Amino acid sequence: MSGALKITFTVILSVEFIIGNFGNGLIAVVNILALGKRRKISSVDQILTALAISRIGLLWLVLLNWWLSVLYPGRWINERMVGIIHSLWTTFNQLSLWLATSLSIFCCFKIANFSNTIFLYFKVRVKKVVTVTLFVSLFHLCLNIIVINAPEDISVTEYKVNMSYSLSLNDTEISILWFLFANTMFAFIPFVVTLVTFLLLIFSLWKHLRKMQHSAQGCRDASTTAHIRALQTVIASLLLYVLFFSSLVAYLWGSLLLKKKVMLLFTQAARIAFPAVHPCVLILGNTKLRKAFLSILLWLRCRHKEGDLGVQRARA
């Protein structure tokens, strides 16, 4: 790997790390402070807080793994360390995916309107639906960890990575490819669920707009506004989810066939964009979080002005 490529990817990863930690940290801090004041927070805020914490852990793990590979290439990873890293990454990643999916499910049942009996049954019991989804995700996570660690014949004995980061088709690569393949397949399920909630919201908005047109009323009522706001958030989330899932597939394909480091690094940066950029979308789509973010910007602006005034007085 060339020095310029390594520096470029390090900068991209650092920017994603800073943005992701700020966004997730803001979500977690705001909701934790609200819990301390009111002794209770809504179900959405509970999901958002857990989602933010899981993503902070994921971003720190990715950054730590990258810096160790840069500073100590091939000298710090052994069989046990590989298993720990794979298990930790899978845990944080699956928690992040399923919590984001649970958030999409919650928004769908709260906002979408259908006369279907089954949909109405789950709509009234949306909290139980989310709870069951989270329990299923825990089973899904345990199964994922078992799958990536079970095959002994493809287990890695040691990372044989030289200073140029060139890899040959050996036990190491086979293990990595199995890990990527398993996680890609397990990420497909929450991706499909999120896609279904998006389609349901689209269909619900379409039906609602037709109903409003037939009743000769304006299209911008409260329900329409709620639909549009939810769709804006879900669309942005879905686009980032598509980018994440596509990067997993591209990374797996690139590792197996192309073995081009530029493509592998690009797909890795794209994969990290989901936990890093998605919190910004959630902040902009949530009134409370958006106000907290604007308050921070206003505070920083005031501090900047005070600093400029102090400099001017010192010069005078």
pLDDT at 72: 63
Give percent of the chain with pLDDT exceeding 90: 13
> What is the pLDDT, as a whole number, of residue 316?
60
Segment among 137-141, 200-204, 249-253 with least mean pLDDT:
249-253
pLDDT value, residue 160 = 39
Mean pLDDT of 138-153: 78
pLDDT at 302: 82
Query: How much is the pLDDT for 155?
Result: 42
Mean pLDDT of 102-116: 85
pLDDT at 12 over 70: yes
**pLDDT tens column, 59-68:** 998 888 777 7
Band (51; pLDDT cuts 50, 70, 90): very high
Write the pLDDT tens digit of every residue in 278-312: 888 888 888 888 888 898 888 888 876 766 666 66
pLDDT tens, position by position, 66-93: 777 766 665 555 666 767 777 888 899 8
Entry field: residues in the chain? 316
Residue 22: the pLDDT is 93
What per-residue confidence (pLDDT) applies to 175? Answer: 65
Query: Which position has the higher pLDDT, 216 or 103?
Result: 103
Provide the pLDDT for residue 156: 40
Please tell me the predicted confidence (pLDDT) of residue 163.
34
Mean pLDDT of 126-152: 85
- Mean per-residue pLDDT of the chain: 77
Q: CA 121 to CA 111: how far, in whole Å?
A: 14
In 3D space, the residue among 240, 234, 308 whose CA is nearest the CA of residue 274 turns out to be 240
Tell me: the pLDDT tens digits for 41-50? 888 889 999 9
The pLDDT assigned to 78 comes to 60
Instruction: Find the mean pLDDT for residues 161-176.
Output: 48
Q: Kindly tell me if the per-residue pLDDT of 162 is higher than 50.
A: no
Check whether 152 has a pLDDT greater than 50.
no
